[in-house]
Amino acid sequence: MERHENERTFKIQNGFGRNTLTRVTQSTSRLLTSHILEDPSLILTPVGTMRNFLIALTIQFLVVPITYARGESPHRIFAGTGQGVARTTPYPSGQPSGPAGTSIIGNPFGIEFQPHHVLITSVDDHCVYRSTLDGKDFTRIVGNGLKGYTGDGGPAAEATFNWPHEVRADKKGNLYIADTRNHVIRKVSGATGIVTTLAGDGSPGFGGDGKRGTQVRFQQPHSVVLDGTGGLLVADTVNHRIRRIDLNTGIVQTISGTGEKKLPVDGNPARNSPLSGPRSLAVDDQSIWIAMREGNSIWRIDRKTSTIHHIAGTGKKGYAGDGGPPKAATFRGPKGLVLDHQGRILVVDTENHALRRIDLSQNLVETVLGGNKSKVTFPMKRPHGIAFKKNFGYLIADSEFHRVILGN
């Protein structure tokens, strides 16, 4: 290979464990970072006599790939560049906006599909973004980029939030947001774009069952999900309860949890059973599915009998059990879950940096992304939210790598 004075040859290893030789030439037109942010796991190693040559990411280079094997993994980056966000002033009107793949999204958490769009919350700048499914149009729709609790009664894009962990959308386009560190649930009207507080008084604590609005108190509600029967379920995480807001009356009731931080007994009535950090919720016609963060396990409430049942995880922290029965597996702080079109449960095993899949028909749990599959898929760092859409796949928030990954 011909080598010029301003060239260096490097061996690049990506998260798939594939090596490739790449010629790096000095340039003033691009930053090396613009090429590696697509995959923060890239490791650049000088070849041969160049092993002591150090690359500073602030030096400008042009990477000209000779080959780059991406492997056969059915995953790709949908949104984010790998760069975080730190705002000290509000975003200008209409910004940020652009293609999802080149847009900065700092610490994405919650993900929700609409018929033709996907919604993504971010906690670095306390916003909600909306993207077309092809990723060509990605724009901020909620939050002005600053942390706070202001703006009720006005446009959602001018309001402030404090760690909006999750968002859900109904058929009318109304958005329901778990404004976690403001300890409230907020609603954005699909017709007007106006934001209001649906429930919660803004102070941490517990209270208000049988009441509505500011007479209710939550403590770090992390997850919300529409139950399909006119209610919004809330994972009132630090209160170790699941609560329901009647969207017609506004009345809030606890449907599971006693406030005691403890795992329930399999088969007991849900209402009088303790919970251990309910962190993420999903629903189908038969069940309410629960990921318990402190409980390191997955449970479900039978919607017909109102009993609670153990699905996966021993309750102990760990990363074991792939290839075996779900109840014998260990998880570490799961913080997201969704069901796919086959009824399998996708669990975001956050502190194991992995996405795991539970197939109850096969009595099997396996890792499908990150974790012990990082070398053949993508590595992840503390992923959180996940959503699934048939004929599209799943999107998972790879939170601390500041990106959203698409998989099947």
Q: Where residue 28 falls among pLDDT bands split at 50, 70, 90?
A: very low
The yes-or-no verdict on residue 331 having pLDDT over 60 is yes
Cβ-contact 387, 394 below 8 angstroms: yes
Q: What pLDDT, on a 0 to 100 scale, did the predictor assign at position 73? A: 66
Judge whether 83 and 77 are in contact, CB under 8 Å: no
Among residues 371, 373, 287, 389, the alpha carbon closest in space to that of 334 is found at 371
Q: Alpha-carbon distance 374 to 382, whole Å?
A: 13
Q: Is the dihedral of CA 341, 347, 352, 353 positive or negative?
A: positive
Question: How many distinct helices (H) and strands (E) make up the chain?
Answer: 1, 29
Q: Prior bond to 96 cis, omega within 30? A: yes
What is the pLDDT, as a whole number, of residue 74?
85
Tokens encoding 267: 């088969």
Per-residue confidence (pLDDT) for residue 20, from 0 to 100: 37
CB-based contact 199:212 (threshold 8 Å): yes
| Sheet containing strand 386-389, strands side by side | 76-79, 403-407, 393-398, 386-389
- The stretches of 26-109 forming alpha helices (DSSP H) are 33-36
What is the per-residue pLDDT across 162-171, written as a single tens digit (0 to 9) for each?
A: 999 999 999 9
Beta carbons within 10 angstroms of residue 33's beta carbon? 16
Q: What is the pTM of this model?
A: 0.84
Q: Please tell me whether residue 267 adopts helix, strand or coil conformation.
A: coil
Q: Is the confidence at residue 3, as pLDDT, over 90?
A: no
Percent over 90 (pLDDT), the chain: 82
Separation CA 367–CA 209 (nearest Å) = 39
Q: For residue 55, what pLDDT band results from cuts at 50, 70 and 90?
A: very low
Going by pLDDT thresholds of 50, 70 and 90, the confidence category of residue 404 is very high
Nearest to 180 by CA among 385, 389, 396: 385
**pLDDT value at residue 23:** 38
Quick: pLDDT tens for 249-291: 999 999 999 999 999 999 999 999 999 999 999 999 999 999 9
Tell me what the mean pLDDT of segment 51-62 comes to: 35
- Tell the residue number behind the tokens 């779900």, with chain if given: 326
For 208-246, what is each residue's pLDDT tens digit?
A: 999 999 999 999 999 999 999 999 999 999 999 999 999
Q: 60-106 pLDDT, tens per residue?
A: 333 333 222 344 568 999 999 999 999 999 999 999 999 999 999 99
Rg of the chain over Cα atoms, rounded to whole angstroms, equals: 22
In angstroms, the CA 344 to CA 390 distance is 13
Stronger pLDDT, 223 or 3, i.e. the higher one: 223
Tokens, residue 84: 């975080």
Q: What percent of the chain has pLDDT over 70?
A: 82
